[in-house]
Amino acid sequence: MKARKIFIILSLAAGLISLPIIHSCDPSHLDLKPGTETEAMMFQSEEDFVGAIIGVYAKLTDFYYFHANDPTHPMWLLPGDDATTAGTSPFESFSGMQPGQGLLGQYWTAAYQLINRANVVLQKIAEENGIIKTPGLKDNIKGEALFLRGWAFFGLYNFFGTAPVITERISSLKDIYPPSSTGTQLLDQAIADFQEAAELLPVSYPQNQIGRITKDAANGMLGKTLVFRACYTKNTADYTAAITAFNKITTRHLVADFGANFDANNENNEESLFEFQASNAPSFENIWLWNDFDIAIGPMSSYWGFFYGAWSWWNLDNMCIVPSKKLLMKFEQGDPRVIETLDTIAPDNGNAYRYPPMVFGSDTIKVAFAKYVKRGKEGDVTSSVDNPRILRYADVLLLKAEAILKSGGSKADAIALVNQIRERARNSASPASAVPADHPLSETDHYAMDYGRKISGALCRRRNPLA
């Protein structure tokens, strides 16, 4: 019995000694894949490249969504003469503006995140060698990345005037503090990006890809940026080049109904050149988060609650952004654009206190913006799925009219372009309205030049509100 126990013990010991030999660590067992996808695992298929450019598009969300009650919209709505608020905003009064102002940092960060994503795509496209098989896809993706980067540079010049021009992916610590631009270098790079994009992008996409950037969009932004640069450099050649770019737009035209341009059911129509493609997260969108948070609940929407006093909006001292008195006085009585642009607030409206009163003679009224509200479509938690129209053909016509006037071209030709917009406006009603009437093609030189300045808006910063 004792011998048997000794045998068992020795057998167990031998087995334990042999275990490391039989089951010793295999180095391949340590070569585990990361729990999430890495860059080294990306760009192995066409789908990876398409996903990467969609990631650049996705960063546009940061410019148009709720952003936890701190959207960037006041930056580009309030500096002009067509919008105001009873709240306090340094973007309207231009007082109290500090370098550390939250929206400035927010816009700056989003712009450079977009630029960095575009630069990564451009680097990977340059390195691609035979993975992309679909004809034209490689050029399309490169064109989209260039366009979006150019759009970001254009915005940075618009708001800051000077900022670093970063055209390559930053991969070294020594490159993290690039110098700021001088002169119009930001616009110069935007123009170069739009020019190259226009050569690469397609005229159109299949129906299931409507909303992606096209050749016409690139030529539209190219022309706009050239006009913008000419405003500063006084270079007539830029106006002439802008006209050439605008003339290359072949698929866009004014739609019959002015209001369709702000209608959630008429997105990406024949007048639109570039829109932010607003939607809601697949699960349930949490507007208090950020787009990069999670695909299931991260915001993918736009936001217009500051126009109608959504319960979620308490920025700007809880006051709405409303049409200015100057804008109201631009409309002629009977202009069909009034009901698509403005909305009178009744005294018994529960949100009436959030709209500043405007005095006209003996009358005091409160007015709100109707754009993106009257024909909008609310998404989850007061978000919107109505696309912001970033560039329309109406904008192109006004910019082209300005370029013609400023370059010494035919005043009659410029006024004829403006009259296309006025004709569409009066025909938006049924029966058609008599106003706004066409401007006579024989307008005086002084009037034509003055009108050219007016139609350009605040140095092309935004669309003309009556376009």
Q: Over 90: is that where the pLDDT of 93 sits?
A: no
Report the pLDDT value the prediction gives residue 441, as an integer from 0 to 100.
82
Contact 270, 253 (CB under 8 A): yes
Which amino acid is it at 169?
A: R
Omega before 347 within 30 of 0, i.e. cis = no
Report the pLDDT value the prediction gives residue 97, as an integer from 0 to 100.
82
pLDDT tens readout for residues 232-289 = 999 999 999 999 999 999 999 999 999 999 999 999 999 999 999 999 999 999 998 9
Report the pLDDT value the prediction gives residue 348, as an integer from 0 to 100.
86
What is the C-alpha to C-alpha distance for residues 291 and 151, in angstroms, rounded to an integer? Answer: 19
Choose between 460 and 290: higher pLDDT: 290
pLDDT tens readout for residues 50-89 = 999 999 999 999 999 999 999 999 999 999 889 999 877 8
Secondary structure letter of residue 382 according to DSSP: G
The domain locations on the chain are 45-298+390-455, 322-371
What is the C-alpha to C-alpha distance for residues 286 and 289, in angstroms, rounded to an integer? Answer: 6
Residue with tokens 């598009």: 57
**C-alpha to C-alpha distances, 430 to 115, 253, 373, nearest whole angstrom:** 46, 21, 22
45-298+390-455 has which CATH code? 1.25.40.390
Choose between 348 and 460: higher pLDDT: 348
pTM listed for this prediction = 0.89
pLDDT tens readout for residues 137-177 = 999 999 999 999 999 999 999 999 999 999 999 989 998 99
- Closest CA relative to residue 449, chosen from 417, 416, 401: 401
Structure token pair of residue 388? 């912001």
